[in-house]
């Protein structure tokens, strides 16, 4: 087991042979002869471990080409590619329990996992044979994914480490309970190496942020159970029917766990797919949300998501109805109150918008969106000094928000503070990217300062965007 022996010889046959070569043993010293349970005959030089390795590498390369990232993939990209994500997994996309096992979050993540797979996988494949090894790997991957989604359903999870921990668990059970014609010292050394691997990585996962130790534990426990059943009921490769029965039993057990997890989270995740419609949700997503609201009229998140969908479609009257009902159910919901203020603002109801934003700010002084909305309402009334203060507060509380610095620049320009306006527009370009609207506003500010050359350049850029 070279990957985990750190150079120490644990093979008693090798030790005896070297002793004989040194003349320390007689020529007729007894030499144990056994059929190694991991001996492979007539098989291809490309094993299943290399195939699994190749699949993981191919998926990683495809994600790099699609996203342009290498060290860390964006979360939304991971979800699109098949990450284990509660609102989607538990609302019917159960295939994510498998697909996430062949995905990774970045270069370091896949490098470490593939190093572990190369060592543990080769040993597990040699011991069990290819098809049993494949069954253990997939079942342990599903067990790890279920543990992960049950513990933190709102966080996307990817990686092969849960399945690899499952291999470690199966090997521990095999060497502890299996009947191998191997010296006890060799088995104890292997078990110590496996134990050290498990303990070290669990401690490392607990100390390092971003590592899903729940998946590790889920995979390990699944591997221990499956490995124990095989060791006790089907220790030899000739026991194919028994091993198939063990895998079917394990699959049914995991299916029961999955049903329990889905039932535990219940309704909130059944509308997961509908709530992920984005800024321009499709009619199908809106219909799903409407159906959810009919099923559970008192479920505020569904009403809020439906209001957002109506708002993005410009149907402000329906959005207002949903938000008012949501606030009747949860008067302290500042997100709903802030969105209601935006609805009023788009309906040109300035005073209603101001009242909604002020109440949201009173409920949560750190609500950057509420300060931004209040600034918009003040600017619409022509109160630009007060609007500037609200925009500045919004920029401080939500430094990456789109549009805040643009509107701050507009209010500065109205106050003839052109240097401040130019600085705000340039900041908006850094945050949100360039566009015709920002370039035209910059051109006006440059022109007001008498910087005709800069104004012409800005107008030229604006024309390119148009």
CB within 8 Å of 159: residues ≥ 6 apart? 100, 101, 103, 104, 105, 109, 113, 212, 215
CB within 8 Å of 112: residues ≥ 6 apart? none
C-alpha 463/C-alpha 466 separation (Å) is: 5
CB within 8 Å of 240: residues ≥ 6 apart? none
Among residues 465, 416, 466, 458, the alpha carbon closest in space to that of 441 is found at 458
Helix (H, G, I), strand (E, B) or coil at 157: strand
- Would you say 84 and 132 are in contact if contact means Cβ atoms under 8 Å apart? no
306 exposed, middle or buried (CB, 10 Å; 0-12, 13-18, 19+)?
Answer: buried
C-alpha 140/C-alpha 167 separation (Å) is: 8
The secondary structure of residue 102, as a DSSP letter, is G
| Count of residues in the chain | 466
**Crossing angle of the two packed helices 404-414 and 368-380, in degrees rounded to 10:** 30
C-alpha 166/C-alpha 216 separation (Å) is: 8
Q: Retrieve residue 446's tokens.
A: 């440059």
Q: Which long-range contacts (CB under 8 A, 24 or more apart) does 246-254 make?
A: 247/135, 247/139, 250/139, 250/222, 250/225, 250/226, 251/139, 254/139, 254/142, 254/143, 254/146, 254/222
- Would you say 71 and 106 are in contact if contact means Cβ atoms under 8 Å apart? yes
- Residue 417, CA distances (Å) to 149, 265, 410 in order: 53, 54, 10
Active site residues: 161, 216
C-alpha 288/C-alpha 294 separation (Å) is: 10
- The torsion angles phi and psi of 84, rounded to 5 degrees, stand at -80, 105
Among residues 342, 262, 263, 329, the alpha carbon closest in space to that of 302 is found at 329
C-alpha 319/C-alpha 290 separation (Å) is: 12
């Amino acid at each position: 087991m070279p990957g985990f022996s750190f150079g120490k010889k644990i093979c008693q046959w090798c030790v005896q042979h070297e002793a004989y070569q040194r003349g320390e043993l007689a020529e007729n010293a007894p030499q144990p002869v056994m059929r190694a349970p991991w001996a492979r005959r007539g098989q291809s030089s490309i094993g299943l471990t290399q195939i699994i390795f190749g699949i993981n590498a191919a998926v990683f390369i495809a994600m790099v080409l699609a996203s342009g990232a290498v060290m860390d993939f964006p979360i939304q990209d991971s979800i699109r590619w098949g990450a284990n994500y509660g609102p989607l997994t538990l609302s019917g996309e159960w295939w994510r329990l498998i697909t996430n096992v062949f995905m990774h979050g970045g270069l370091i993540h896949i490098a470490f996992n593939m190093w572990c797979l190369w060592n543990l996988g080769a040993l597990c494949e040699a011991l069990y044979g290819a098809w049993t090894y494949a069954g253990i790997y997939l079942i342990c991957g599903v067990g790890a994914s279920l543990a992960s989604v049950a513990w933190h359903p709102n966080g996307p999870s990817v990686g092969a480490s849960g399945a690899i921990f499952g291999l470690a668990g199966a090997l521990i059970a095999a060497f502890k309970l299996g009947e191998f014609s191997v010296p006890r010292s060799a088995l104890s050394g292997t078990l110590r190496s496996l134990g050290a691997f498990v303990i070290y990585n669990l401690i490392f996962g607990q100390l390092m942020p971003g590592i899903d130790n729940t998946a590790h534990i889920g995979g390990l426990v699944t591997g221990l159970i499956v490995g124990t059943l095989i060791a006790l009921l089907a220790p030899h490769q000739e026991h194919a029917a028994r091993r198939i029965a063990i895998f079917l039993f394990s699959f049914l057990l995991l299916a029961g766990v999955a049903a329990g997890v889905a039932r535990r989270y219940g309704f909130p995740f059944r509308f997961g797919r509908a709530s992920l419609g984005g800024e321009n949700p499709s009619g199908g997503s809106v219909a799903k949300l409407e159906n959810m609201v009919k099923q559970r009229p008192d479920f505020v998140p569904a009403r809020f998501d439906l209001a957002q969908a109506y708002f993005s479609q410009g149907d402000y009257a329906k959005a207002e109805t949903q938000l008012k009902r949501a606030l009747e159910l949860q008067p302290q919901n500042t997100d709903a109150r802030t969105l209601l203020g935006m609805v009023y603002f788009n309906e040109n109801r300035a005073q209603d918008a101001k009242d909604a934003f002020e109440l949201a700010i009173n409920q949560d002084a750190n609500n950057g969106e509420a300060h931004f909305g209040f600034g918009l309402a003040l600017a619409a009334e022509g109160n630009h000094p007060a609007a500037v203060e609200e925009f500045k507060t919004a920029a401080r509380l939500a430094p990456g928000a789109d549009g805040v610095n643009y509107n701050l620049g507009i209010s500065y320009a109205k106050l003839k503070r052109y240097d401040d306006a130019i600085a705000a527009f340039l900041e908006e370009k850094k945050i949100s990217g360039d566009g015709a609207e920002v370039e035209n506003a910059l051109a006006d500010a440059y022109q007001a300062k008498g910087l005709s050359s800069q104004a012409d350049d800005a107008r030229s850029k604006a024309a390119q965007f148009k």
